[in-house]
């Protein structure tokens, strides 16, 4: 019997094997929302298995091969592609699985609404978090199963493609262009994204090639847009959390309004409503950038550990506010601590439950937990443990973070974490002393 990889997503993922590399060849026609694609997966068995289970939603499987030959059987039902192998895979044995598929991609339904492939007024945006990756490629949809990627997207030449990974080549033929991206860093499936739009790249002074903005053609960035502060944000975050963990960061602005930005590996998508010079926009930009350290470089193995992503990203907002002279971290902490009792928190931060995992209290209480830790251990120890957390981990858990703090600081902070993470009652507001 298959062990459920993540209780929050019991219908996704398979723990019997891991994917080491995905090679995706996507041919997309915008006018008809038609996708013809081949996904080639290099998999490694974690235990003996005679079948591989893949997540794929709303698309038709045309052909499956395993190591170049037909498998014993495959079935595709209820968003699950099951491949019965001609011979069992022994533990640690590898295989290459090739899936050819097609159809009209659309988002995957779930507890937080549809996620994944979304048609825009003029283009496409893929927001895979937390269960949308199967909307456009077959995957082992587990947060802890991180792999490298090569993604080739062919579409109409009048459009620009931005996808997960570093762009390596483009080639055009008969009015269509193929864009190729490669991501060697271990990447969770829900952090894989594709954006197709009429976009132009704008380099950022001071970025040193580390960051760029893709904006709609014909639309300029306002003179004081928070997007233009990305190089300064990256400098600040590197000072707090260590070197930027990926090759580049690309902020992609689609030509319509979005309710919230959406992070992915090495990139984030914003709406045109996020361009104006306002604190709510600025904090969102630094929030999504911070996710490249917390959520992307270090990914919670289970969705219940989402505070390790959102708490750190929210706390980066407060640190950046202080850096900019827009309010100290203590002031931000006090303001949100006063507001938290007005929110309905029925579960502990360490296990908020699938319906509540993206509630605002998870973000703010997560940030307050980190503020409390900083107040307890001091700035030097706090930022040291933050930097080593990113440097030493790729897949993480709440328990692992508690152990990391004890190891780095040489102190037992169990009572602090018990109060903030495992109880519902709100502790007193922490205050960080002057630097």
- Distance of alpha carbon 70 from the chain centroid: 34
Mean pLDDT of the region 75-103: 97
Which is more confident, 102 or 2? 102
Please check whether residues 219 and 358 belong to one and the same domain.
no
Mean pLDDT of 53-58: 97
Q: What is the pLDDT of residues 340-398, one digit of tens each?
A: 999 989 999 999 999 999 999 999 999 999 999 999 999 999 999 999 999 999 999 99
Domain-embedded: residue 434? no
The predicted model gives 136-150 an average pLDDT of 97
- Tell me: pLDDT of 2 over 70: no
In a domain, 403, yes or no: yes
Q: What is the mean pLDDT of residues 64-70?
A: 97
For residues 224-231, give the mean pLDDT. Answer: 96
Full residue range of the structural domain in which residue 73 is found: 17-197
pLDDT digits (tens, 9 = 90+) for 156-178: 999 999 999 999 999 999 999 99
Q: What is the pLDDT of residue 435?
A: 66
Task: Band the pLDDT of 434: cuts 50, 70, 90.
Answer: confident
Q: Are residues 223 and 178 in the same domain?
A: no
Domain boundary among 140, 170, 197: 197
Q: Is the pLDDT of residue 236 over 50?
A: yes
Has residue 114 been placed in a domain? yes
Is residue 3 in a domain?
no
Q: Is the whole model's pTM more than 0.85, yes or no?
A: yes
User: For 250-283, how does the pLDDT look when each residue is reduced to its tens digit (9 = 90+)?
Assistant: 999 999 999 999 999 999 999 999 999 999 999 9
Confidence band, pLDDT 50/70/90 cuts, at residue 203: confident
Question: How far is the C-alpha of 369 from the C-alpha of 422, rounded, in Å?
Answer: 11
Q: Could you tell me the end-to-end alpha-carbon distance of the chain, in angstroms, rounded to an integer?
A: 55
| Average of per-residue pLDDT across 55-73 | 98
Q: Distance between CA atoms of 416 and 426, rounded to whole angstroms?
A: 12
pLDDT at 1 over 90: no
142, 174, 197: which is the final residue of a domain?
A: 197
Q: What is the mean pLDDT of residues 95-120?
A: 97
* Per-residue pLDDT, 5: 87
pLDDT tens for residues 11-40? 999 999 999 999 999 999 999 999 999 999
- Judgement on whether residues 171 and 222 belong to the same structural domain of the protein: no
**Arithmetic mean of pLDDT, 185-194:** 98
Question: Does any domain span residue 84?
Answer: yes
Do both 182 and 236 map to the same domain? no
66 and 181 in a single domain? The answer is yes
Same domain, 24 and 149: yes
Percent of the chain with pLDDT over 90: 96
CATH number of the domain that 222 lies in?
A: 1.10.390.10
Residues 142 and 262 in one domain: no
Report the number of distinct structural domains present in the chain: 3
Mean pLDDT value across residues 226-234: 97
Predicted confidence (pLDDT) per residue in 288-320, tens digit: 999 999 999 999 999 999 999 999 999 999 999
pLDDT at 38: 98
Considering the domain boundaries, does residue 6 fall inside one?
no
102 lies in the same domain as 130 = yes
Domain holding 179: CATH number?
A: 2.60.40.1730
Q: Does residue 53 carry a pLDDT above 80?
A: yes
89 shares its domain with 218: no
Residue 3 — pLDDT band, cuts 50, 70, 90? low
Q: Residue range 89-112: average pLDDT?
A: 97
Tell me: do 116 and 138 sit in the same domain.
yes
Q: Could you tell me what percent of the chain has a pLDDT over 70?
A: 99
Average pLDDT over residues 408-434: 96
Q: Which residues of 270-303 are buried (b: 16+ CB within 10 A; e: fewer)?
A: bbeebbeeeeebbbbbbbbbbbbbbbbbbbbbbb
Same domain, 192 and 328: no
- State how far Cα 15 lies from the chain centre: 20
* Domain finish residue from 273, 290, 307: 290
The C-alpha atoms of residue 172 and residue 162 are separated, in whole angstroms, by 16
When the pLDDT of each residue in the chain is averaged and rounded to a whole number, the result is 96
pLDDT for residue 4: 67
Question: Is 148 contained in some domain?
Answer: yes
User: Is 196 exposed, middle or buried (CB count within 10 Å of its CB: 0-12, 13-18, 19+)?
Assistant: buried
> 330 and 185 in one domain?
no
Domain contains 428: no
């Amino acid at each position: 019997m298959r062990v459920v990889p993540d209780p929050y997503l019991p219908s996704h993922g398979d723990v019997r094997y891991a994917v080491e590399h995905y090679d995706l060849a996507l041919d997309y026609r915008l006018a008809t929302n038609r996708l013809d694609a081949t996904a080639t997966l290099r998999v490694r068995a974690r235990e003996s298995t005679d079948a591989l289970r893949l997540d794929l939603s709303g698309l038709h499987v045309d052909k499956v091969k395993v190591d170049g030959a037909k498998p014993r059987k495959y079935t595709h039902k209820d968003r699950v592609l099951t491949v019965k192998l001609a011979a069992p895979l022994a533990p640690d044995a590898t295989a290459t699985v090739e899936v050819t598929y097609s159809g009209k991609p659309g988002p995957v339904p779930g507890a937080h609404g549809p996620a994944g492939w979304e048609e825009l007024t003029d283009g496409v945006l893929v927001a895979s978090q937390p269960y949308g990756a199967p909307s456009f490629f077959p995957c082992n949809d587990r947060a802890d199963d991180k792999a490298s990627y090569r993604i080739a997207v062919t579409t109409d030449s009048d459009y620009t493609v931005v996808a997960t990974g570093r762009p390596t080549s483009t080639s055009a033929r008969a009015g269509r262009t193929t864009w190729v991206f490669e991501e060697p860093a271990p990447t969770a499936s829900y952090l894989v994204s594709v954006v197709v739009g009429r976009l132009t790249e704008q380099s950022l002074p001071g970025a040193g090639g580390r960051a760029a903005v893709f904006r709609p053609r014909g639309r300029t960035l306002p003179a004081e847009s928070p997007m233009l502060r990305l190089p300064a944000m990256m400098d600040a975050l590197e000072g707090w959390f260590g070197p930027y963990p990926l090759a580049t960061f690309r902020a992609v602005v689609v030509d319509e309004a979005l309710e919230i930005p959406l992070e992915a590996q090495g990139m984030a998508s914003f709406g045109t409503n996020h361009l104006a010079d306002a604190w709510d926009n600025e904090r969102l930009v630094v929030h999504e950038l911070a996710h490249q350290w917390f959520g992307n470089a270090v990914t919670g193995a289970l969705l219940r550990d989402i505070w390790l992503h959102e708490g750190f990203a929210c706390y980066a907002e407060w640190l950046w506010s202080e850096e900019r002279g827009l309010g100290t971290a203590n002031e931000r902490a006090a303001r949100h601590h006063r507001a938290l009792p007005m929110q309905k928190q029925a579960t502990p931060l360490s296990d908020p439950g699938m319906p509540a995992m993206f509630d605002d209290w998870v973000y703010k209480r997560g940030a307050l937990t980190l503020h409390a830790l900083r107040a307890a251990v001091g700035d030097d120890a706090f930022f040291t443990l933050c930097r080593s957390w990113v440097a030493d981990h790729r897949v993480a858990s709440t328990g692992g973070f508690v152990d990391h703090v004890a190891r780095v600081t040489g102190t037992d902070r169990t009572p602090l974490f018990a109060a903030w993470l495992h109880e519902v009652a709100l502790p007193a507001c922490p205050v960080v002393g002057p630097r």
